[in-house]
Amino acid sequence: MKNISRVKEIIVANKEKAGRVADLIIVNKALIIANKALIIANKEQGEFLVNISHELKTPLNVIFSTAQLFDMYCKSGSLDDKKESIIRYIESMKLNSYRLSKLINNIVDISKIEAGFFKLNLSNNNIVQVVEDIVMSVTTLTECNGLQIIFDTDIEEKIIACDTEKIERIVLNLMSNAIKFSDDGDEIFVDIKDKSEFIEISVKDNGIGIEDKNLSMIFDRFKQVDKSLSRNTEGTGVGLSLVKSIVELHGGSIYVESECGKGSKFTVRLPSKKVLHESILYNNEVKSQNQNIRVEFSDVY
Ligand code: ADP
C-alpha cells in the first residue's frame, strides 16, 4: 500500500516538474522573441542614426561652404561684384537652416514622445477656422509652382479640443508631402467633413501614389519607402510617424488610401470633444507664422 501511494506521489511530482519545464520553455521562447525584437529595434535605431546624421550634415555642409565663400569674397575685396550671387547664396543658407530646424524639431519631438514628455496644450477652437487659416497661409508659396490648393468644408464651425500649434504641424506635414510627391500644376484638396462623433480632415493629391506593399509601413518610425521609388532623396521617415503620434495624443486616428500613379489621400479623424480647462487660447496673431511654414516646407521649397 505504502509503495502504491509513494508511486502516486512520484507521478504527481513528475507531472508538476513537467509543468514547470513546459512553463520554462514558454518563458524561454518569449525571451527569444523579445531578444529578436530588440535586435531588430537596435538595427533600425542604428540605421536611423546613420540616416539622420547624413541628413544633418547635408544642410550644414551647404551653410559652411557658403560661409567660406563669403569669407573668400571679403578677403579678395570682391563683395560688390558678387552682390547678385550673394543674394542667392543667402537664400540657400536660409533654406538649409530651415531644413536643419525641421530635422532638429522632429528629433526632439520624437524623443519627447518616446520619453512620455510630449504634452498637448488643449483649448476649444473652431477647427474649421484653424485648418483654413493654415491652408490659406501656404497658398502664396504653392502658387508660384502652379500648384492649386483647393479647400472645402461641409461646416462653417465646429468647436473641438485641440492643440492649434500641433494641428498646424499635422496639416503642414501632410500638405508638404502632397506637394513633394505631386507635379507642378497639379491640384491638392484639403477637405473637412463633420461626422458628428468626430471631424475628418483629409489631404488628397494626384501625385505618384504609394505601392500597396509600402502602405502599412509609412507610419512606422524611421521607415521611408524605397528611395529609388520615391522621387525625393530628402527626409528621414519621421514626419508621418510624428503626425500619427500627435493625432493619437488628441484621441484621434489617421489612415491612408493610395493608388500607385494616381495619388494619395491621408485622412485624420479628431474626436468632437471639448475640454473644461483650456491651457492656451487660439490666438489669430500667432496662426501659421511664415517661419513655421518655411520650416515645415523646407523639403519642397
Ligand atoms: P519624411 O520625413 O522622410 O518625408 P514621411 O514620414 O513624411 O517621411 O513619409 C514617409 C514616406 O511615405 C515618404 O518617404 C514617401 O515615400 C511616402 N509618402 C508620404 N506622403 C506621400 C504622398 N502624399 N505621396 C506619395 N508618397 C508619400
Residue 78 domain-assigned (yes or no): yes
**pLDDT of the residue at 283:** 54
* CA atoms of 291 and 259, how far apart (whole Å): 33
Interval between CA 177 and ligand 1 midpoint (Å): 6
* CA atoms of 121 and 93, how far apart (whole Å): 33
Using the 3D structure, point to which of 58, 93, 118 is the last residue of a domain. 118
pLDDT tens-digit profile, the chain (301 residues): 667 788 888 888 888 888 888 888 888 988 888 888 888 778 777 777 887 888 889 899 999 999 999 999 999 998 888 888 899 999 999 999 998 998 898 889 988 988 888 989 999 999 999 999 999 988 877 776 788 999 999 999 999 999 999 999 999 999 999 999 998 889 999 999 999 999 999 999 999 999 998 888 898 876 555 554 444 445 667 889 999 999 999 999 999 999 999 999 999 999 999 888 776 555 554 445 677 777 788 777 6
Q: What are phi and psi of 281, to 5 degrees?
A: -95, 145
The number of residues making up the chain comes to 301
Identity of residue 44: E
**pLDDT of the residue at 231:** 45
Structural domain boundaries enclosing 167: 123-296
Q: Which of 227, 240, 300 to mutate to test the pocket of ligand 1 (most atoms within 8 A of CB)?
A: 240
Q: How many domains does the chain divide into?
A: 2
Q: Which of 101, 172, 177 to mutate to test the pocket of ligand 1 (most atoms within 8 A of CB)?
A: 177
Instruction: Count how many Cα atoms sit within 13 Å of the Cα of residue 265 in the half-sphere of its side chain.
Output: 12
**pLDDT of the residue at 2:** 67
Measured in whole angstroms, the distance separating CA 11 from the mean position of its chain's CA atoms is 60
Query: Given the CA of residue 178, which atom of ligand 1 is nearest to it?
Result: 23
Q: Which of 149, 210, 236 to mutate to test the pocket of ligand 1 (most atoms within 8 A of CB)?
A: 210
pTM score of the predicted model: 0.79
Using the 3D structure, point to which of 118, 143, 170 is the last residue of a domain. 118
CB 58 within 8 A of CB 102: no
**pLDDT of the residue at 228:** 43
Q: How many CB atoms lie within 10 A of CB 269?
A: 20
Indicate whether 78 and 209 sit together in one domain: no
Residues 6+ apart with CB under 8 A from 153: 128, 132, 191, 192, 193
Q: How far is CA 273 from CA 158, 223, 267, in A?
A: 10, 32, 18
Indicate whether 94 and 140 sit together in one domain: no
Using the 3D structure, point to which of 118, 149, 165 is the last residue of a domain. 118
Residue 175 domain-assigned (yes or no): yes
Indicate whether 160 and 284 sit together in one domain: yes
**pLDDT of the residue at 235:** 61
**pLDDT of the residue at 76:** 92
**pLDDT of the residue at 229:** 41
CATH number for the domain harbouring residue 168: 3.30.565.10
263 strand-pairing partners: 259
Indicate whether 101 and 202 sit together in one domain: no
* CA atoms of 103 and 31, how far apart (whole Å): 35
CB 254 within 8 A of CB 266: yes
Indicate whether 97 and 41 sit together in one domain: yes
User: Does residue 59 have its Cβ closer than 6 Å to ligand 1?
Assistant: no
